[in-house]
Structures are given as C-alpha cells and as structure tokens.
Structure 1
C-alpha cells in the first residue's frame, strides 16, 4: 500500500500530481487491453464458425456411408390385420399376407372359493412348457389371494389374478408367453389330505394336461398361423414374426378366414431427403456466418470482422468449390445440382424436391454412389466434404485450431505485456512517492532552519536595542 504525503509542507497536491502521472503511464495498458478485446471478439467469432462447421460435419456423417442409405419402410395394406416394419437388410417388394390364427397364451381358472377359505397346505410345483419347475410353498391358513400373490412373487412365467363374480373368488392363471408349447403345468404335494390329485384341499389347483385337469382351461396355448405369398400354415409362437421375410417384422393384430392384405417393402427415400435437407440447412448456416462477418458496406465503409481475413476466405472458397465440383464415374449425375441441390439467387443452397425425388426414384443406386464412393481421386461428394471438414476442424492440426491458437497466443502475449507494464508502473509509483516524501522532509528541514534563523535575528535585534539604550 502506497503512503500518501499530501504536500503538507510544500503545499503541492502530490496525490493529484501522481494520479495524473499514473494516468499517462497507464495509456499503454489501455491500448493493449483494446487490442486484447479485439482478439477476444475474433476468438469468439471463430468459435461460432467452428460450431457451424461442426453442425455441417454432423449432417454430412449421415450421407457418407452406403449404410446411411439403407433404410426401408414396410407398409401394411390393412393395419387391422397386421402392421410391419423393415430393417436395412430388407429387399424392396410386395407380399400377400393372410392371418389365419393369432398366437395365444395359455389361460386357466379354478373353481370358486370364499374370501376367507383356506386353499389347503402343501407345495405347488409350477412350470411353463419346457421350462424349469418352480416350487411354491402354501401354508394351511393361506387363502386364494395368498396363493395368487405367491405365484406372482415366484416369477415363474405365469401371472395370477383373483376374479370376484359377486359370490365367489376364482384364481386365474395366464402364461407370460404365447405359443402352443407354453402350456401351464401345475401339480401339488398336498400335505393336508395326502391326496395330490383329488378335488379337495390344495389339489383343487392341479392342471396336468391330459391327466389331472382340476383347473379349467379358458384359452388354449396356440401358435400364430399365417399364409405368405401362397405358402400356408406358417407357424410361429408369437404374434411378432421377424424371420419369415428377410429384414421385415410383422406384428399380427387380428385373424380372418378370408381377408388378405398386401405388405409392401420399399426404400425409405423420405429419410434420405431429410438428411439432404439437414445438410442444406447446415451449409446455409455457414453461409450466414460468412455473410455477417465478411461483409462490406460501400455506402458506410463498414467492414465485417473477417473482411479480408485470409483464413475465413480460404474456408469459404473451399466449401464453395465443393458445392460446384464434380464427382466422376457416376452414370447419372456428376454435380450436386443434378440432384436438385443448387445455389439460388440469394447465394443460399436450396432443394428442388421434384428433381431430388425423381433422382431417388429412378436412379437410387447412382445417388448412393454420388455421395459415398470412396475410390481414391474420385471420392463421392459426402466423402470429400467430410475429409475437407475434418481438415478444418481437427483439434490439433486443423485450420480453425491453427488460427485460434495464434489468436490465443496473441492474447497471452498481450496479457504478459500488461503485467510487465503494471509492474513497471507500480515500481515507478513507489519510487515517485518516495521522492515526493523526501522532498517534503527536506522542505520541512529547510523550514525549521529558516524559523531558527528568524528567531536568532529577532534576538540580535532585541540585544542591539537594549545595548543602545544603556
């Protein structure tokens, strides 16, 4: 902390003098800080450019591989009968589907119980189809509700519920999985009366198909049955069938003895159009950046931040050349505009949907090749664009990184200069205040000497007066 001397002896406003001198000393700092602010604005603007280019890069990643064009759609002619979806392994075409029978899960019900009636003591042995047997203990005091809860807690592939009809309570069982092989098998060890198959005690719940059936079957376990392109009796355990037509999943909704519906598999060109539109939007965002930062208003003489900037001009030219460039060895197209994607009068990319859809419908494979071919020297549009953007955005050696690293180095250098100037000013202030302090002390000594001499002269004058009178 500096010491204020305040000109107590000299009468000078030394604090004001030093403050004014400091203001002069700090002018280089002000200039440096202005330069730093300019660099910070450029650094932020390059961050915006990097973000826009990254969005463009992400859009191109959806067009650079053959698999990016592999989407298919599957359409049902009657969604009341079935719905369908397709994966990339599907093949375009149509198929006639008849749903003869839906797959069903096995369902059983017990005879009626009262709400407080004990079911009987023992162990339930429960299994579904070829699965393992699950043992469920039942105590002598358990009711039908307790048994239902115990079955659900066992997670044996069966859901239990208790239905009240207004008079009695009925245990219902439903297999989790459909299919004719998923039959519920329930046997017991009845420790109450020792008889494991009669209709008393716990054995009232036995269902051993073809043998003891004390429970009533309310729905038989069944496979789905469909006819595909005239091939009858296609059986599956589920109503979701994904292994009959390659790459197509059929979800059965209802059956019919007579109705047939057409399943149509086609390329999902809408997905490709969406990706191309996403690329166009991302590219136009980059163009908007250049329009803002590389503009020049001749009337006002106002230039954008990057007007005349070599790096941004290079990036802009490279992208422009990409749009106008050709892709060799593609039979139907060699330019992006051949697909209906071109620059309009305002300098923005736009899509002619009729041309693009026509290209996709009539020359789909050529469209794929135009974007994705990877032969050296004749790379597809998306492949070349991705390579160009990678070179611009590489975090170590990319065009943007090189420029922003240089700007950041300039900012760091300015901050170092500011610190050096501030240290020099601080030393100057300390030294100057010390010099003013020394001046005040010297003036104080002179003042004290002057006062002493004045007193001596007065004394001599008084002495002379006294002598002359005597």
Structure 2
C-alpha cells in the first residue's frame, strides 16, 4: 500500500492542524502535575528558609549553653604604657603597672667597606663566620669564597635560627654589615663576631677598632610595687592569667573584671535570633485579606508544631535552686505580643543588666545548666535538633515534599510517554485515513470519467 509522506496531501484535509490540536489537548493533562510540582517546590524552598532561621536561633542558643561564657574575664587599661589581655585563669582585681624601660634587641656593626662589589673572602675555601651572643651558644655561618658584603648578608639571613637579622647600611662614608638580634633582652644580645678575621683586611677602612656593638636590655617594670624584669615586651605571669604587652615607658592601671559585655551580646543575640525566626514564620504563614495573597506555608501543620514546641520550652523554664532563676521573666526577658500581634521576646534592659552584673553564676545555671541539655539554652537546642531531624516536624515535612516532587516527576514522565504513544497512534490513523480518502478520490475520478465517456457515446447514437 502506498504511503503519504505529509498528512492532508491525499485527502485535502487539515490533518496536521488537527493532530497539533489533539497533541495540545493531550498535553493539557500534564499541566495539573506541573502545578503540583511547582507547589511542592515552593514548599521545599519555604521549609529551607524556615530551617535557616531555626539554625540561626539554635546557634544563638548554643552560645548561651557554654558555661565558660559566664566565667570569661575582660581587661580595661587606663594609660598608654601597656596593653593587657586576660585568660581564663586570670584573677579579678586592679593592678598598678609602671614601665621603667622596654626590652630592646642588641645590634652590631662591622668595619666599614668602601665598595659593595669588593670580594671580601679570599682564596678558594669556604670560611666560617661565628656570631657570639651574651647568654646563648654561638652560631656559625658558612661564607663562600668571593663573597661580597651583600653575599655575607644573604648567607646570614638564609641561616635558620641564626638569632640575628642582617642588613647592609651606608653610613655616609662607606658600607657596613649590621646585625640585629631577633629576640629582645640582654641574653639575646649579639656581642661580637670574627668578621675581621675572615675578610680581606686591606678592604676594611674603618678606623674604629673592632666592631660597634650595642647591648640589648631586658624590660623593667613594676606591678603593684613589685619589681619585674623580662627579656620580652610581652610579659606573662606578672599578673595571674594576664598577658601584658609593654608599649612605652610610663604608668597604667589594669583592671581585670567579669566580661559582662560578652554575656550581654550573647543574650541579645539570642533574643534577636528568636524574633527573626518569628518574623520568618509570620511571613511564611501570612494572609492578606485585601489582595488574597497568602504565605507559602499558610495553614501548614509543621509550622504550628514548631511554634508550639518552642513556645512550650521558652515558657516552661527550668528547675532552679533557691535563689536561682527558673523563668525567662526572672532575668528580664518575656514573651509579649508586638504591634503586629506576633508573640516575640522582649528585654527589660534594666533588669537584665542587673542580673548580668551581679549574678552570672545563676545566669549560667539557668541557660547552660550542669549538662548539655540541663539549662534552657540546651533544651532549646535539643528541641530544634529534634524538629529538624528526619522524624521531626520540619525535617519530615521537608523530606515529604521532596519525595512528592520525585513521585510527581515520575508520574509526569509516564504521562508524557503515554501522550507521545497516543499522538503516534493518531498520526498512524490519520495517515491511513488520508490514504484511504485519496484512494476513494481516485476511484471517484475514474468513475466520473467513465460516466462522462458513456454519456458522450450515448449522445452520438
């Protein structure tokens, strides 16, 4: 049987147009699936946004769940003589510090050389430059034959743990190799070298006998009248747990006290993170009665469960010993409706400052407790972990939406394959119809011609 390459040629019917219309109508069956996939994708995105806000709140809660936060100390310094930093074992108190002199490094300058290009090391053998120190072993540096003053400098600087830093300076008349101790203090001072013994003596033009050395010195200071010396300007141990960095000669007062600022910032961050989480929830569950616009998670049961669980922990408080804090309200934090009728945390600044200043031990027991989940912050962190887990309200809702997307995509593929098969069947049927009509038209034309011929013959007779 003959085939028709283009639908409609044989029959004269717009079969291609009809097939396109049928294809469009069949593909309309995919639109509901596409809308369902889009709806679930919007939900997954919304759950991700909620998950991020929950994670930020958990991070803020974890900061309060660290008992060391409430025992941290800070230093304040009046005067420019020193800077100070307190460690975890510092002792609270006030200390008068007087810096008499700073620790300095020792220096040494060699004899003067007229020309930088002069080869100072004669012969063909490597020579040894020995550097001597006041309170430590000497250091040997190999110097190659033919070395200039700059080559000697480079060899010293290339020597690991040489204890000195070398440079070349011009003093107005010639060039000198200068050495500076890398450490401060009297014992680290470089006291001399055998430079004059290993170089070509005829090239050394300095009339000053020997080398020019300047002794390094130890720092000298007093802490509350007690005399202290230090080889370094960074002094540890003069005040328990405090590192002093000596800046200049003079007097300073160092105060070591409870670090109320760090605790205040952690609590404020906790309140801000919860209120930000609440803003995210309000946005995702909003409804505008005038425009009809709705949040992506309006009426979502997972969101209601999350709010309920968190509110329960926040308002439930913790078990407290006598004189301790049991509820957020005890430290000046309360759940209140804001101007948009949203339940958020609010701080009584005066009360919170009083608690932070006077009772950080009780504050630590309230937020951090005596175990990882014993305090309010630990309970909140554990609750968020449960909510975000695979079996939690948020984790389950998110994974459920993701699974529905995968299922809908598979359904979409199956539907698309079915539509393609249907259209292919229509195309075959239309091709057969086109061929059949074409054959019928040919038969009709043939019969018409035969009848015309018969009529013509009858007319002649």
TM range (shorter): 0.7 to 0.9
Flag the 1:462–1:167 CA change in 2: closer, same or farther, 3 A.
closer
Deviation at residue 375 of structure 1 after TM alignment? 5.0
TM-score, structure 1 normalization: 0.85
1:278 to 269, 274, 279: 269
What is the rounded CA distance, in whole Å, between the counterparts of 1:4 and 1:283 in structure 2?
69
91-100 or 264-273, which deviates more = 91-100
Establish whether residue 124 from structure 1 lines up as the match of residue 120 from structure 2.
no
1:344 Cα deviation from its structure 2 partner: 4.3
State the match for 1:445 in structure 2.
Answer: 439
* 2:28 pairs with 1:36: no
CA distance in 1, matches of 2:5, 2:311: 65
Q: Equivalent residues in 2 for 1:205-284 (5 A)? A: 214-218=210-214, 220-232=215-227, 234-256=228-250, 260-284=251-275
Q: Is the partner of 2:168 in helix, strand or coil?
A: strand
Q: What is the CA distance between 1:111 and its match in structure 2?
A: 4.4
In the other structure, the counterpart of 1:399 is 393
Query: How far apart are the structure 2 equivalents of 1:410 and 1:320?
Result: 30
Question: Equivalents in 1 of 2:62, 2:452: separation in Å?
Answer: 103
- Whether 2:185 is the aligned partner of 1:179: answer yes
**Partner SS for 1:152:** helix
C-alpha distance after superposition, 1:252-297 (max 9, x if no partner): 12335xxx53221012111111122222222122111111122234
C-alpha change, 1:4 and 1:360, in structure 2 (3 Å) is farther
Shifted more, 436-445 versus 153-162: the winner is 153-162
Q: 1:187 to 1:305 in 2, by over 3 A?
A: closer
* 1:92-132 per-position Cα deviation (integer Å, ceiling 9, x unaligned): 21222232332221222344443356656553112444245
1:123-162 equivalences in 2 (<5 Å): 123-128=128-133, 129-131=135-137, 133-137=139-143, 139=145, 142=147, 144-155=149-160, 156-162=162-168
| Alpha-carbon distance in 2 for matches of 1:137, 1:397 | 72
For the residue of structure 2 that corresponds to 1:296, the secondary structure is coil
| Aligned equivalent of 1:390 | 385
Secondary structure at the residue paired with 2:185?
A: coil
After TM superposition, the structure 1 = structure 2 runs for residues 273-312 of structure 1, keeping only pairs within 5 Å, are: 273-298=264-289, 302-312=293-303
Instruction: Please show how residues 358-377 of structure 1 align to structure 2 within 5 Å.
Output: 358-374=354-370
Per the alignment, residue 319 of structure 1 pairs with 310
Quick one: distance in 1 between partners of 2:93 and 2:402? 59
Q: Which runs of 5+ in 1 are unaligned?
A: 194-199, 206-212
Measure the CA separation in 1 of the matches of 2:379 and 2:248: 50
Please say which of residues 123-132 and 282-291 is displaced more in the overlay. 123-132
CA distance in 2, matches of 1:102, 1:158: 19
User: For residues 202 and 353 of structure 1, what CA distance do their matches in structure 2 show?
Assistant: 77
* Aligned position for 1:197: none
> Equivalent residue of 2:97, what SS?
strand
Contact 2:130–2:138 (CA under 8 A) maintained in structure 1: no
Aligned alpha-carbon RMSD (Å): 2.9
**CA contact under 8 A between 1:224 and 1:238: conserved in structure 2?**
yes
Do structure 1's residue 333 and structure 2's residue 308 form an aligned pair?
no
Distance 1:6 1:65, change over 3 A: same
Aligned position for 1:435: 429
What is the rounded CA distance, in whole Å, between the counterparts of 2:267 and 2:306 in structure 1?
Answer: 21
> Shift in Å at residue 203 of structure 1?
9.8
Count of aligned pairs between the two proteins: 444
User: Contact between 1:5 and 1:14, CA under 8 Å: does it hold in 2?
Assistant: no
Counterparts in 2 of 1:231 and 1:20: CA distance versus 1, 3 Å:
same
The offset of 1:63, in angstroms, is: 1.4
Specify the alignment match of 2:334 in structure 1: 342
Task: State whether residues 46 and 404 of structure 1, in contact with CA within 8 Å, keep that contact through their aligned partners in structure 2.
Answer: yes
Structure 2 matches for 1:26-65, cutoff 5 A? 26-65=27-66
Counterpart contact for 1:340–1:351, Cα < 8 Å: yes
Question: Structure 1 residue 427: deviation in Å?
Answer: 1.2
Correspondence for 1:100: 100
* CA–CA distance in structure 2, aligned partners of residues 27 and 403 of structure 1: 29
Cα deviation, 1:340-376, whole Å, max 9, x if unaligned, reads 2233441332333322221111111111111100459
Partners of 1:4 and 1:15 within 8 A in 2: no
Counterpart secondary structure, 1:243 = strand
Q: Give TM-score, length-normalised by structure 2.
A: 0.87
Change (3 A) 1:281 1:456: same
